[in-house]
Amino acid sequence: MFTRSPGLPRAAGGTGAEVFDVDGRRYLDGSGGAVVTSIGHGVTEVVDAIAEQARRIAYAHGTAFASKALDDYADALAPLLPFDDPRIYPVSGGSEAVETALKMARAYHLARGEDRHVIIGRQGAYHGNSRGALDVSGRAGLRMPYRPWLGAAWHTSAPYEYRCPAPDHPTGCGAWHAGRLDRMITEEVAAFIAEPVAGAALGACVPPDDYWPAVAAVCRQRGVLLIVDEVMTGFGRTGRWFACEHWGIRPDILVTAKGAASGYWPLGLAVCTAEVRDTIGAFVHGFTYSHHPVGAAAGHAVLKVLQDQDLVAAAEQRGRDLAQALRDRLADHPAVGDIRGIGLLQAVELVADPESKKPFARADQVAEKVVAQAKESGLLVYHSTGCADGRDGDLLLFGPPLVITETQVAELADKAAAAIRRVRGR
């Protein structure tokens, strides 16, 4: 998509978990766009905060001025982050946050006199579309056109319990993955980057409980920085402020975006420990729109809504409701291989044969057809492909606004199930 997309409806407005087009048609937002909208559409407090800051000053470069908006936002956010004393670097989105984190890791080791430069990511991961973020990503289809530009990063296995390759699955999977990571680490490795819960590429894959403690221990023992990618899972999406809290993980660096400003402003954050920041010293890095005062005002206003409406707890409860509703309607469907997720990040993996877990051929475009049918019925669903082997594999990803109601959860599950039945029969 460049400037116009023929055939798409034109959005006119939205409120809560609903979007309306110019013809007055109503859509239930079952995916928050690309799992972005956390506090819902049409929240005037956020719009007012953006306008108020823009009236004062819309832009001042971060190398020339500090701003009250940035300071206030950092002070409000810091106690919620999984750090004792965080240092926050605001940017304009997830890819920029990842690029910033990778440079932080490199700068940290250089400051210590170590020439560590390799980043280890995971197979099947997605961390963004800029070149560095794409290199640490492991999503084959997105990497393929740009492979001549990539190759600096290494990749290890990801916890994908539905298709787990560990020989003793389902026991000992976390230790098995941690062992594979440990064997990859050399004196060149600077950092390991991973999503606490795999998002777009593998579809709400929740790791076994022994995974993160084992992986974090390997990173600590080998002097490798742990970068946690919470671009999709941060700001309450999984029923915790940040998904790494489910396993008590304290990263060295955390990146987040999407729900940070809930789509009201392009905002991303790279956060590190005070020890990492103090070691780096002068950080040779920057973007034109980093440290944006209007972005900080937007993020602060979204944060207040999340707190005032207790939406993190709501995500936990509505997430349980959604998971149960999807299981009730789809557990026995012959095209449904797995239903998984945590909080309001849920996924359905579609397969040609549930017994063998054989995926549909990519040429069948099953996920795209289901998404189209759902949209026809007034439900917006996010999808992903290639989860099974890098090419084949069809996923439906659900990440509605955290304000979704119990009634709307039932509607979402009803319409998603109906769309699958229309594409793949009963």
Q: Are residues 99 and 16 in the same domain?
A: no
Indicate if the pLDDT at residue 355 is higher than 70: yes
Tokens standing for residue 214: 């084992």
Query: pLDDT tens digit string along 246-259?
Result: 999 999 999 999 99
Q: Are residues 113 and 55 in the same domain?
A: yes
Instruction: Give the 3-state secondary structure of residue 191.
Output: strand
pLDDT band at 223 (very low <50, low <70, confident <90, very high): very high
Query: pLDDT tens digit string along 275-306?
Result: 999 999 999 999 999 999 999 999 999 999 99
Instruction: Supply the CATH number for residue 231's domain.
Output: 3.40.640.10
Average pLDDT of the chain is: 96
Edge-first strand listing for the sheet containing 394-398: 336-342, 345-350, 394-398, 382-385
Look up the pTM and report it. Answer: 0.96
Q: Are residues 19 and 151 in the same domain?
A: no
296: in domain: yes
The string over 334-356, giving b where at least 16 C-beta atoms fall within 10 Å of a residue's C-beta and e elsewhere, is ebbbbbbbbbbbbbbbbbbebee
Indicate if the pLDDT at residue 426 is higher than 80: no
116: in domain: yes
Tokens 């950080």 correspond to: 283
4: in domain: no
What are the start-end ranges of the E strands in 83-151?
A: 87-91, 118-122
Residue finishing a domain among 308, 337, 362: 308
- Residue 201 and residue 194 in contact, taking contact as beta carbons nearer than 8 Å: no
Query: pLDDT tens digit string along 58-83?
Result: 999 999 999 999 999 999 999 999 99
Cis upstream peptide for 401 (omega within 30°): no
371: in domain: yes
Distance in angstroms (rounded) separating the CA atoms of residues 205 and 386: 14
1: in domain: no
36: in domain: no
Q: Are residues 19 and 134 in the same domain?
A: no
Tokens 């060149």 correspond to: 188
Q: Are residues 350 and 382 in the same domain?
A: yes
Q: Are residues 213 and 284 in the same domain?
A: yes
- Residue 287 and residue 91 in contact, taking contact as beta carbons nearer than 8 Å: yes
- Average pLDDT of span 184-204: 97
- Residue 215 and residue 177 in contact, taking contact as beta carbons nearer than 8 Å: yes
Q: Are residues 221 and 350 in the same domain?
A: no
- Burial class of residue 186, CB neighbours in 10 A (0-12, 13-18, 19+): exposed
Domain count along the chain: 2
- Residue 98 and residue 127 in contact, taking contact as beta carbons nearer than 8 Å: yes
Query: pLDDT tens digit string along 379-391?
Result: 999 999 999 999 9
Q: How many beta carbons lie within 10 A of that of residue 327, not counting itself?
A: 14
Q: Are residues 138 and 271 in the same domain?
A: yes
Q: Are residues 303 and 338 in the same domain?
A: no
pLDDT at 32 (0 to 100): 97
35: in domain: no
Indicate if the pLDDT at residue 136 is higher than 80: yes
Q: Are residues 356 and 375 in the same domain?
A: yes
Quote the domain boundaries for residue 388: 11-30+310-424
Indicate if the pLDDT at residue 2 is higher than 80: no
- Decide the pairing of beta strands 118-122 and 154-156: parallel
Q: Are residues 292 and 235 in the same domain?
A: yes
208: in domain: yes
pLDDT at 140 (0 to 100): 87
pLDDT band at 141 (very low <50, low <70, confident <90, very high): confident
- Residue 27 and residue 379 in contact, taking contact as beta carbons nearer than 8 Å: yes
pLDDT at 396 (0 to 100): 98
- Average pLDDT of span 195-207: 96
Distance in angstroms (rounded) separating the CA atoms of residues 31 and 8: 17
Instruction: Supply the CATH number for residue 340's domain.
Output: 3.90.1150.10
Residue finishing a domain among 272, 290, 308: 308
Instruction: Give the 3-state secondary structure of residue 230.
Output: strand
Distance in angstroms (rounded) separating the CA atoms of residues 284 and 286: 7
Q: Are residues 255 and 274 in the same domain?
A: yes
Distance in angstroms (rounded) separating the CA atoms of residues 170 and 160: 11
Q: What residues are paired with 268 via a beta bridge? A: 91
Query: pLDDT tens digit string along 159-186?
Result: 999 999 999 999 999 999 999 999 999 9
**Four-residue CA torsion sign, 385, 396, 319, 13:** positive
Residue finishing a domain among 242, 273, 308: 308
pLDDT at 34 (0 to 100): 96
pLDDT at 425 (0 to 100): 79
